[in-house]
Amino acid sequence: MTDIQKGPFLRVVSGGQTTSLQDRGRFGFQDKGVPPSGVLNQNAMKIVNKLVGNNTDEAVLEIFLSGPILEVNAKNALVSLIGSNSSSIEIINRNVKIRPGRSIKVFEKDIIKINSGNKNLISLFSISGGFNVTKVLGSKSTNPSVIMGGFKGSFLEDNMDLPLNNNIHKYHETLIPKFKSHDQVKIFRVIIGPHVDKFTNDEINKFLSSSWKVTKDINRMGIKLTGNKINSIAGRDMLSDGNQIGSIQITLSGEPIVLLPDRGTIGGYPKIATIISSDLELIPSLKIGQKIQFESINIDEAKKINIEFERKTNKNLSSIIKI
């Protein structure tokens, strides 16, 4: 890493639980065993970036569960957060707190605490100008399992310095009027398959009619669910094949795992269904211990839902106003 003292940076006072730098991800390398990584909520990344005047695909901090505490070592900047309605950015030294869906100015030596709240798994944090990090295989995204990208290839650690790009553009605090996050998501729509032949119709119906509890076994590779045991006829001899984000593997114990951006590129567990792309962006709104269900739809329905989801995102982007 270059000598960050020559430019602005954020100093990590406390790293939080699992915070990493992520952008859209790296693509075209899964055949080499390199997962795409990247943020789970692509549309939220667009919004949180535009709130601070960045390009919509600029890398952001993705925060699982508890957030970090950061010291600003820059003359001025804008910061913003997208999370649940209970999450917030707190400027401790000034006793200021803002909710998601707006940006706020920060100054030299401000201490920022990112409160993820208790109603979601994942929040996104942006800062004007973005982070001064070299791309690896076309992306700034972090993959800690292979020590690649981001800040030394790892999650945020105490006393780490995060280099920033010089913020030279004029900026104003901004706001999305009546912004509301996705809270209390209970149903995820799926396309059944690809391994339909590994499950009987009764087992697929059991999967769709059951309630599944979100366990504490969560990381950027996947989310383990618990509930009724789903039996597969795949056994232990199933050949590994490609893994897709949102695919739901059924383990040998009969429990589902929802695959996330840092998943293995191949896997040997049968996949009973895949969450549609629009509903992937609802996963950050989950919380540990809650129950969810899956609803089967077809591809044409999924396309219509995705068009409507993009429309809502664009509406939020176009509604951003200066304060």
What's the CATH code of the domain at 256?
2.40.100.10
Residues 171 and 191 reside in one and the same domain: no
Residues 193 and 169 reside in one and the same domain: no
pLDDT tens for 216-260 read 999 999 999 999 999 998 766 677 888 899 999 999 999 999 999
Percent of the chain at pLDDT above 90?
73
Residues 117 and 200 reside in one and the same domain: no
- Out of 146-155, 162-171, 174-183, 296-305, pick the least confident: 162-171
Is residue 194 included in any domain, yes or no?
yes
Question: What CATH number is attached to the domain comprising 22?
Answer: 2.60.120
pLDDT of residue 231: 93
Residue with the two structure tokens 């089967």: 296
Residues 125 and 197 reside in one and the same domain: no
Last residue of a domain, one of 175, 195, 211: 175
Is residue 322 included in any domain, yes or no?
no
Closest among 135, 99, 130 to 116, alpha carbons compared: 99
pLDDT of residue 16: 85
- Out of 9-13, 24-28, 163-167, 229-233, pick the least confident: 163-167
Residues 14 and 122 reside in one and the same domain: yes
Residue 5 has pLDDT above 60, yes or no: no
Residue 169 has pLDDT above 90, yes or no: no
Is residue 211 included in any domain, yes or no?
yes
Residue 3 has pLDDT above 70, yes or no: no
Residues 118 and 227 reside in one and the same domain: no
Residues 138 and 12 reside in one and the same domain: yes
Whole-model pTM: value is: 0.92
**pLDDT classification of 145: cutoffs 50, 70, 90:** confident
Q: What are phi and psi of 61, to 5 degrees?
A: -85, 125
Residues 61 and 129 reside in one and the same domain: yes
Return the structure tokens found at 252: 């040998």
In whole angstroms, what is the distance from residue 24 CA to residue 270 CA?
27
Residues 133 and 192 reside in one and the same domain: no
Return the structure tokens found at 67: 């957030």
Cα dihedral: 107, 72, 112, 12 (round 10): 180
pLDDT of residue 31: 85
Is residue 321 included in any domain, yes or no?
no
Residue 307 has pLDDT above 70, yes or no: yes
pLDDT tens for 30-47 read 888 889 999 999 999 999
pLDDT tens for 83-136 read 877 789 999 999 999 999 999 999 999 999 998 877 778 999 999 999 999 999
* Residue 51 contacts residue 174 (beta carbons within 8 Å): yes
Q: What is the mean pLDDT of residues 141-150?
A: 92
Is residue 288 included in any domain, yes or no?
yes
Measure Cα distances from 234 to 228, 231, 258 in Å: 18, 9, 18
Return the structure tokens found at 259: 């695959």
Q: With H, G, I as helix, E, B as strand and everything else as coil, classify residue 233.
A: coil
Residue 144 has pLDDT above 60, yes or no: yes
Average pLDDT, the chain: 91
What amino acid occupies position 196? V
Last residue of a domain, one of 123, 145, 175: 175
Last residue of a domain, one of 142, 175, 208: 175
Is residue 182 included in any domain, yes or no?
no
Residue 141 has pLDDT above 80, yes or no: yes
Residues 196 and 164 reside in one and the same domain: no
- Out of 4-8, 56-60, 66-70, 299-303, pick the least confident: 4-8
Sheet with 9-14: strands ordered across: 96-98, 88-91, 111-115, 69-73, 9-14, 161-163
Is residue 169 included in any domain, yes or no?
yes
Residues 136 and 69 reside in one and the same domain: yes
Is residue 181 included in any domain, yes or no?
no
- What residues make up the domain containing 50? 7-175
Residues 201 and 146 reside in one and the same domain: no
Count of domains observed in the chain: 2
Helix (H) or strand (E) holding 305: helix 299-318
**pLDDT classification of 166: cutoffs 50, 70, 90:** confident
* Residue 147 contacts residue 153 (beta carbons within 8 Å): yes
pLDDT tens for 55-73 read 999 999 999 888 999 999 9
